[in-house]
Amino acid sequence: MNLYKYVSDEINKKLGFVAKLETTKNRDFGDFSTNVAMVGAKTVGKNPRELANEFVPLLKELDFIADVSVAGPGFINIEIKDNFLLQNTTAPKPMKAENPLTIDMDYGAYNVAKSLHIGHLRTSIVGDTLNRMFKFLGHKTFSWNHIGDWGKPMGLVIAWIERLHPELPYFQDDFDPTKPVYYDIDPKDLDTYYPSASALAKQDPEFQARAQEIKAKFQNGHPGYFALYEKFLAISLKSMNATVQRLNILPFDYDLGERNAAQYIDEVEKILNAKHMIYESDGALCINVKRDTDNAPMPPYMWQDSRGADTYDTTDLSAVYCRKKVDNPDTIIYFTDLRQSLHFEQLFRVADMSGIYPYDKFEHIGYGTINGKDGKPFKTRDGNAAGLDDIFDIANEAVRERVAESGKKLDDETITSIALAAVKFNDLLHDVKSDYIFEPASVTSFEGRTGPYILYTAVRLNSVLKRANTQITKPEHFDLSIEERNLLIEIMDFEHMILTACDNRATDMVANYTYDLCQLVNNFYHNCPILRDDIDETTKQGRLYFAKLAFDTLSTLINLMGLKIPSEM
């Protein structure tokens, strides 16, 4: 049950005003607070405090209300009956959206033949959690791993392989794709090709020009380059899958990116031309996206660069066209680094102007940077920019050290789940837009607002339930202690929380709620013994029931965040 909505609706119905309900942080003064008397006072022309006092007896008639009091200039504090909480608290279940939407989500978006960097962490973690949240609320989502496989890096990597193995048949213009080529790329080597090629291109204009030429030919369907690309695409897809598994994120519905979108370029160009949107400028094909109201510079959208090549802009617009055709989504959400905001603003404008997809159905969620203690983008110990795997290796190491220090013996799988939770929870905890500092030692702590603390709480509950090893049923009546009451009301707040978090795309709300819940669980655990010998059977049964509710709620949250509960900790 959505307690917040229930209470809000009942109060408004009873008093005939639409007022705002607040959940009070300090429950000593009640569970909710409403400004209904302030709202009503304006309409009937009375003093709010006076009106509030008139409302008190009316509100007391509602059978779920235990107590009502007036505070300040006319706020009304409301306390919910214990038995109402007891009878109506349930563990969260997947919901049925009132207006189910089809949502295309563009996150992950890894690049072919380029190892994943730390920037791919947030798009993956936040994108995945939001995807799970939408699904939980009953929406239909499609996740697109819009892989980067059409731009400059393709030209560079192919040019690099040409340098290494000029004898390979791929580089001939009359390459015959039906004839097998016995050439294998070592995945570890592939990772080095792009950085090497890119460094060389900076010093050697000839190589740079060759890479550009190759890119253009590749985009025009050169069979040899394409065959070679297929080879390293396979390697990259495999490593992307490994990342998906390592991160414990849902498999993507589509591993289709720029190259796939490129198939639609001609169709899109027809639309753009019919609307006379394209103009030529220094050999490039551009689209003007400026609006009179713009204060900041708004460069043109680059439909084709001056060398005749497709750009990031070209494939992104074509991808929108493709998604509209394939999924017909109600909304398209992108998760990328904040620094791509201008690109998406331009894209949304062009899509709208061309009639391909309306501006207001797009969303770009731009995330901040993960920094080290020095406030600069996080680096590994040797001073290099951290890759995505580095972050997990570092977290794994930190957890291993911590576990060793504590004298615990945990297997590798458990250590890995703790490290995963440490990194992901910490990421989700921060407002998406802001930068944050990644400190391996603090995020892996077993205490405080950390992933390990969350898992530890779940493991603890689970172990009580396992030890009790009994059928658990809801008690008819129970004298709630303050800890039990606080726990129940927090669980009842889940539905309101998840709806609000989803509306605001605020994964940090989910993480913070999870932490608050864990605090209450641990207070309950310490103050309300369950399996101790001196605890009578009724109390034990009731507390087991609360522990089970808490465990089920926590498991749902842990699942939404894509963490794994270890069997021991």
74 counts as binding ligand ARG under rule CB under 6 A: no
The only residue of 111, 131, 304, 486 in contact with ligand ARG, by rule CB under 6 A: 111
148 counts as binding ligand ARG under rule CB under 6 A: yes
Hey, what long-range contacts does 354-357 have (CB within 8 A, 24 or more apart)?
354/268, 354/271, 354/272, 354/275, 354/277, 354/317, 355/271, 355/275, 356/268, 356/271, 356/317, 356/320, 356/321, 356/324, 357/320, 357/321, 357/324, 357/332
124 counts as binding ligand ARG under rule CB under 6 A: no
Q: How far is the CB of 334 from ligand ARG (least distance, A)?
A: 6
Q: How far is the CB of 439 from ligand ARG (least distance, A)?
A: 25
Beta bridge partners of 377: 371
CB nearest ligand ARG: which residue?
109
Q: How far is the CB of 390 from ligand ARG (least distance, A)?
A: 17
Toward ligand ARG, which CB reaches closer, 148 or 451? 148
Q: How far is the CB of 495 from ligand ARG (least distance, A)?
A: 32
Beta bridge partners of 280: 285
Toward ligand ARG, which CB reaches closer, 146 or 485? 146
**Contact (Cβ atoms closer than 8 angstroms) between residue 521 and residue 550:** yes
Written as six digits, the tokens of 312 are 């990031």
Toward ligand ARG, which CB reaches closer, 121 or 489? 121
Toward ligand ARG, which CB reaches closer, 109 or 511? 109
Of 495, 527, 531, 504, the C-alpha closest to 97 is: 495
396 counts as binding ligand ARG under rule CB under 6 A: no
Q: How far is the CB of 254 from ligand ARG (least distance, A)?
A: 12
> Locate tokens 């060793």: which residue?
404
The CB density around residue 477, as the number of other CB atoms within 10 Å, is 11
Toward ligand ARG, which CB reaches closer, 366 or 372? 366
Toward ligand ARG, which CB reaches closer, 323 or 543? 323
Q: How far is the CB of 29 from ligand ARG (least distance, A)?
A: 47
Q: How far is the CB of 43 from ligand ARG (least distance, A)?
A: 49
Binding track over 263-302 against ligand ARG, x by CB under 6 A: ----------------------------------------
226 counts as binding ligand ARG under rule CB under 6 A: no
**Contact (Cβ atoms closer than 8 angstroms) between residue 271 and residue 356:** yes
Interface of this chain with ligand ARG, residues 5 to 24, rule: CB under 6 A: none
Size of the site for ligand ARG (CB under 6 A): 9
**Contact (Cβ atoms closer than 8 angstroms) between residue 383 and residue 357:** no
The only residue of 33, 304, 336, 514 in contact with ligand ARG, by rule CB under 6 A: 336
The only residue of 122, 139, 146, 217 in contact with ligand ARG, by rule CB under 6 A: 146
146 backbone dihedrals φ, ψ, rounded to 5°: -75, 80
Written as six digits, the tokens of 551 are 């465990």
**Contact (Cβ atoms closer than 8 angstroms) between residue 31 and residue 80:** yes
Candidate ranges 6-14, 42-50, 103-111, 363-371; the one touching ligand ARG (CB under 6 A): 103-111
Taking the C-alpha atoms of residue 52 and residue 35, their distance in angstroms, rounded to an integer, is 9
Q: How far is the CB of 252 from ligand ARG (least distance, A)?
A: 12
Toward ligand ARG, which CB reaches closer, 240 or 415? 240
The CB density around residue 63, as the number of other CB atoms within 10 Å, is 9
Written as six digits, the tokens of 564 are 């794994």
106 counts as binding ligand ARG under rule CB under 6 A: yes
Written as six digits, the tokens of 201 are 């291109």
> Locate tokens 């229930």: which residue?
6
> Locate tokens 């996080």: which residue?
378
Candidate ranges 75-83, 106-114, 300-308, 560-568; the one touching ligand ARG (CB under 6 A): 106-114
Toward ligand ARG, which CB reaches closer, 8 or 315? 315
Taking the C-alpha atoms of residue 563 and residue 566, their distance in angstroms, rounded to an integer, is 10
316 counts as binding ligand ARG under rule CB under 6 A: yes
The only residue of 109, 247, 249, 497 in contact with ligand ARG, by rule CB under 6 A: 109
Written as six digits, the tokens of 154 are 């393709």
Toward ligand ARG, which CB reaches closer, 309 or 319? 319
195 backbone dihedrals φ, ψ, rounded to 5°: -60, -40
**DSSP letter assigned to residue 170:** G
For β-strands 362-367 and 284-287, DSSP reports them as unpaired
Of 423, 475, 465, the C-alpha closest to 118 is: 423
Taking the C-alpha atoms of residue 551 and residue 553, their distance in angstroms, rounded to an integer, is 5
Beta bridge partners of 319: none
**DSSP letter assigned to residue 452:** H
Toward ligand ARG, which CB reaches closer, 223 or 366? 366
Candidate ranges 95-103, 105-113, 241-249, 472-480; the one touching ligand ARG (CB under 6 A): 105-113
Beta bridge partners of 281: 284
Q: How far is the CB of 142 from ligand ARG (least distance, A)?
A: 13
Toward ligand ARG, which CB reaches closer, 17 or 254? 254
The only residue of 193, 229, 334, 524 in contact with ligand ARG, by rule CB under 6 A: 334
Toward ligand ARG, which CB reaches closer, 95 or 237? 237
Candidate ranges 95-103, 104-112, 419-427, 546-554; the one touching ligand ARG (CB under 6 A): 104-112
Q: How far is the CB of 109 from ligand ARG (least distance, A)?
A: 3
Burial label, 69 (beta-carbon count in 10 A; 0-12, 13-18, 19+): middle
Angle, CA 422 vertex, CA 416 and CA 428 arms, to 5°: 130
The CB density around residue 544, as the number of other CB atoms within 10 Å, is 20
Toward ligand ARG, which CB reaches closer, 370 or 489? 370
Toward ligand ARG, which CB reaches closer, 62 or 250? 250
Applying CB under 6 A, the residues found at the interface with ligand ARG are 106, 109, 111, 146, 148, 316, 319, 334, 336
